[in-house]
Structure 1
C-alpha cells in the first residue's frame, strides 16, 4: 500500500516546499491520531487477553479475530506514530533502516488483516453450509494464519526493495525508486486488486451465500414451529443457527468498516500514481488528503474491539471481567449444609436443611436464591464434598462463537 513517505513516482526528488499544514490542521491531526492510538493499544491487546483467558472462546473464528487484532495493533500501535510525525514534518527523520522497514511492516499488517477477514468469511461459510463436518481444526487454523503472514511479507517485498533513503542538503527523504512510471503503476494496481478488490468481492460473495442459507433455514424453522412443537434437536439447531446469525452480523459490520475506511487511502494512492497531479493538487494531496486518509485507515484498527463489545456477548462479558476483580466480585457463597444423623428405630433420620446461594455479578448486583428444602444425605453420599468447604468462583459462560 502506498504511504505518503514513499511518494516519488519515478525516483525524482519530491518538492516539499510550502507543503506544511496550517497550525489548526496540525493540532486536529495530533488529537485525532492520539485518540486512535490510545484506543488501539488498549482495545486490541484486550481482545487477545480475553480469548487467551477464556477456554470456551478459543474457537477458530476467535483465533482469526486475534490475528486481526495483532495486525491492527501493528498498524495503529506501532506504525501510526511514525506516520503522524511524517505528516507533520517535511522530510524523513527516522533513518535509513526505518525507511525500508516501516512501509513494509505497515503493508504486511494491512494485507494480513484483509486476508484474515477472508479466512473468517470462509470459516463462517463452512459453518453455515456444512455445520457438522465443515469446521476447521486448530492445526489447520494455525497453518492458515502462518500462510497469511508469509503471503503478506512476499507481497510487500518489492516496496522494501524499492525504498530509498537520501539526504539532500540536510533534508533527508524516504521514497520509492522505480525503473519507470509503468512499473510503479503496475505494482500499485496489483496491490489494489489482490489486497483490496478481490478479497472484498470474495468476502461479499461468501457472506451473501451464507446469509441466504441462514434466511432459508430460519424460514423453514418458523414454518415447522407453527405446525408442530419443536423437539430438543430442533431447539438445538435453532440455537446454533441463531449463534451463526449473530457472528454473521458482527463480521459483516467488521468487513464493511474495513472496506469503507481503507477506500479513501486507496483512492489517494491511485490518484497519485495514475493521475500525475500538478504541484497544486500535489500540495493538497500531501497537506490534507493523505493525512486524513491515513487517519481513517488507522481508525479501522481501533473500531473492531468496539464492534466486538457491542455485537458479541462473549467479548462484552470478557471485557467487563478484564476491568473487574473477579476474585472479589464473582463468587458463590455456599454455606456448609448441616447434616444431623439421628438414629431412630434403627434408621438414620435426616434433618431437612436449606441452602442459600449468593451470586454477585461483575456489575455489582447481588441475587439471592433459596433452594427448595430437601432431605440432607449422609456425608459419604454428597458428591464433590470439597466444594462445600470453600466458595468456588463463578465464571459466566455463554455459547462460544
Structure 2
C-alpha cells in the first residue's frame, strides 16, 4: 500500500510540475501569448508549480515516517508557502473568471485594456499580497501572541489548528467568497448569452422576412480608428453589437492622429459576426461552468471538514478523511493546467511548438 501511495504521489508531482512548467515556458517563448488574460493564467501556473515542486515533496517524509523530521524552520516555511500558494491559486481562479466575464459582457472596454500590462501586473501583485495576509501572519506569530504552542515537535501543524473561529473566518475568504464570485460570473454569463441568443433568433427572423418581401438593406458605413499591431479586426470574433461597438471604439481612440478607415458592413455580415462571437462566448461559459464544479469539488470537502474537525478536536471525524480532503487541494493544482491553458488554442499551438522543439533537440 505504501508503494502504491508513493507511485501515485510521484505521478501527481510529475503532472503538476510538467503541466505548469509548460504553461510558464510557453508564455516566455511565445510573445503572442502576452495579453491580459494569459498573464492571469501565468500567475495561476506559478502558484500550482510551487505546490508541485515544493509543497508536495516536503510532505513525503511526513507520510513515510509519520512525523516531521525536517526541523521547525522548514516546518514554518512549508506551512507558509503551502497556504500562500493554495490561497493564491483560489484567488487567481476568481481573477480568471472575472477576466472572462469582462471579455464577454464588456468586450470593447476589455479589448482597449488588453495590452495595459502595468495594470495587469498590479492586479497580479495584489492577489499575492492578499493571499499572504490571510494565513502567513497567523502561522508565524500565533503561538507568540496567544501563548499557544501545545504541539509536539514531531508534528508540523499551525498553532491555530484547533481554533475553529479563525478557520471559519479564513475559509470564508479562501473558499466561500471565491466560490460565490465565480458562480456569480458564470450565472451572469449564462443570462447574457441567453438574452443574446434570443436576439440572434429575432434578427434571423427579421432578415428572413425582409428577404421574402424583396427589400434590400443598404450597407451602412462606420468609421473605425485603426489599432496598433492589430489586423483584421472584423475577422476577430470579439465584437459584440458591431454597430455600437465600433462607434464606441471610435470615441475611445479619437485622440489618435491616424485617419479612420471606412468599412462597409451590411446586416448579413453583422449577423454572422454576432453568431460567431456568440458561439465563442458559449464555449467560455461552458469552461467557467466546469471551473466552478472542479473548484467546488476540490475545496468544499476540505473547508467543511477543517472547521468541523477543529470544533470537535478530531473526535468526530476520522483522520483519513482529513487527509483525503487535504490531497484534493493539491490535485486541483495538477488539474488547473488542463482546465485553463489547454482549453486555449493559442496555448495548444505554443505547447506543440515547444514539445516539437524539445524532441528535435533531443534527437
TM-score scaled by structure 2?
0.73
1:184-228 C-alpha deviation (Å, 9 max, x unpaired): 222101111111001111110121012210222133223323442
Measured in 2, the distance between the counterparts of 1:193 and 1:253 equals 22
Q: 1:273 aligns with which of 304, 310, 313?
A: 310
Measured in 1, the distance between the counterparts of 2:35 and 2:342 equals 19
Measured in 1, the distance between the counterparts of 2:207 and 2:358 equals 44
2:322 corresponding residue in structure 1: 290
1:102-137 C-alpha deviation (Å, 9 max, x unpaired): 111111111111111211222222222221124543
Q: Which has the larger radius of gyration?
A: 1
Measured in 1, the distance between the counterparts of 2:91 and 2:19 equals 21
Measured in 1, the distance between the counterparts of 2:76 and 2:188 equals 41
CA contact (8 A) 1:250 1:307 kept: yes
CA contact (8 A) 2:186 2:288 kept: no
Unaligned 5+ segments in structure 2 are 209-266
Measured in 2, the distance between the counterparts of 1:189 and 1:239 equals 45
1:196 corresponding residue in structure 2: 175
Report matched runs for 1:326-365 at 5 Å: none
Q: 1:158 aligns with which of 121, 129, 138?
A: 138
Measured in 1, the distance between the counterparts of 2:99 and 2:109 equals 12
Report matched runs for 1:114-129 at 5 Å: 114-129=90-105
Measured in 2, the distance between the counterparts of 1:133 and 1:175 equals 46
1:40/1:236 CA distance change after superposition, 3 Å: same
* 122-131 vs 140-149, greater mean Cα deviation: 122-131
Measured in 1, the distance between the counterparts of 2:322 and 2:8 equals 14
Q: 1:72 aligns with which of 48, 53, 59?
A: 48
1:363 corresponding residue in structure 2: none
Measured in 2, the distance between the counterparts of 1:167 and 1:234 equals 66
Q: 1:49 aligns with which of 22, 25, 34?
A: 25
Q: 1:302 aligns with which of 334, 343, 359?
A: 334
2:60 corresponding residue in structure 1: 84
Measured in 1, the distance between the counterparts of 2:359 and 2:294 equals 37
1:100 corresponding residue in structure 2: 76
1:310/1:66 CA distance change after superposition, 3 Å: closer
Query: How far apart are 1:268 and its partner, in Å?
Result: 2.9
Query: How far apart are 1:233 and its partner, in Å?
Result: 3.5
Q: 1:315 aligns with which of 347, 350, 356?
A: 347
Measured in 1, the distance between the counterparts of 2:17 and 2:301 equals 24
Measured in 1, the distance between the counterparts of 2:358 and 2:323 equals 42
Report matched runs for 1:204-223 at 5 Å: 204-223=183-202
Unaligned 5+ segments in structure 1 are 1-23, 329-401
Q: 1:253 aligns with which of 279, 290, 307?
A: 290
> Larger % of helix: which?
2
> Larger % of strand: which?
1
TM-score scaled by structure 1?
0.66
1:160/1:29 CA distance change after superposition, 3 Å: farther
Q: 1:172 aligns with which of 131, 149, 154?
A: 154
1:327/1:105 CA distance change after superposition, 3 Å: closer
1:77-124 C-alpha deviation (Å, 9 max, x unpaired): 210112232233222111121111111111111111111121122222
Measured in 2, the distance between the counterparts of 1:240 and 1:102 equals 45
Query: How far apart are 1:241 and its partner, in Å?
Result: 3.2
1:51/1:244 CA distance change after superposition, 3 Å: farther
Instruction: Select the structure with the greater relative contact order (CA < 8 A; seq sep ≥ 6).
Output: 2
CA contact (8 A) 1:129 1:210 kept: yes
CA contact (8 A) 2:91 2:127 kept: yes
